[in-house]
Amino acid sequence: MIALLAVVLAFQFTGGSNKSTTGAATGKAPNESQLIGLQTGPAPWNPGLDHLTDRLKPIGVSALGQEGTVEHIHQHLDIFVDGKHITVPALIGIYDNQYLTELHTHDTSGVMHVESPTKRDFTLGQFFGVWGVRLDSNCVGGYCKPKTPWRMYVNGLNYPGDPAELVLKKHQEIAFVIGNKRPKQVPSTYNFGGL
């Protein structure tokens, strides 16, 4: 009985349960000093394709000929700057119809796709590395603490850790609230439909 309880608890705390996990486990964030072409200015940010190929190895993601199917999960990303919703661009991680990476977007909905041929964890820092936008414990793009306050939320809850180390889990709602003016409500869920 004790062994069964330990297995159930381990399953819940490692993200096996879609209901309770916020992805609080942390992973390894890419070393930003090795990333070429990071966007370090204010939003909105472009899809970051100019130096994507140069960033792949330091980020730890691959150029694929097609979407992977072994790991196939989705998250939703919202970014608010001074209360205004910022569009997450389409085609992040999709390079000129030549290849795509395990981490990408198809459209401007804010849905992030994790589609890998191998089962492994990916971090929000890797997604932002693919996007080519600076993300670390102090800065999101050109918004750096303490000059510009910001917070990250996962499933509506404040995430106090380094956002770049957040492990991406199925159906997370990730929101950055940047600046002094907050949105009327920080999203806690997203309707993923059939994803």
Per-10-residue mean pLDDT, the chain, length 195: 37 34 57 90 97 96 91 97 97 95 97 96 97 97 97 97 97 97 95 89
> Is residue 48 a part of any domain in this protein?
yes
Question: What does the pLDDT read at residue 85?
Answer: 97
> Is residue 187 a part of any domain in this protein?
no
> Is residue 4 a part of any domain in this protein?
no
SS (H, E, C) the chain: CHHHHHHHHHHHHCCCCCCCCCCCCECCCCCHHHCCCCECCCCCCCCCCCCHHHHHHHHCCCEECCCCCCEEEEEEEEEEECCEEECCCCCCCEECCCEEECEECCCCCCEEEEEECCCCCCEHHHHHHHHCECECCCEECCEECCCCCEEEEECCEECCCCHHHEECCCCCEEEEEECCCCCCCCCCCCCCCCC
> Is residue 2 a part of any domain in this protein?
no
What are the angstrom distances between the C-alpha of 153 and each of 17, 28, 110, 187?
A: 19, 19, 15, 8
> Is residue 92 a part of any domain in this protein?
yes
Range of the domain at 106: 25-178
Residues comprising the chain, all counted = 195
> Is residue 171 a part of any domain in this protein?
yes
Question: How many structural domains comprise the chain?
Answer: 1
72: CB partners within 8 A, 6+ apart: 114, 115, 116
Evaluated on CA atoms 161, 162, 168, 172, the torsion sign reads positive
> Is residue 36 a part of any domain in this protein?
yes
| pTM score | 0.85
Question: What does the pLDDT read at residue 26?
Answer: 53
d(CA 57, CA 169): 22
Question: What does the pLDDT read at residue 18?
Answer: 34
Peptide bond into 47 cis (omega under 30): no
Question: What does the pLDDT read at residue 22?
Answer: 42
Question: What does the pLDDT read at residue 138?
Answer: 96
> Is residue 19 a part of any domain in this protein?
no
d(CA 149, CA 182): 11
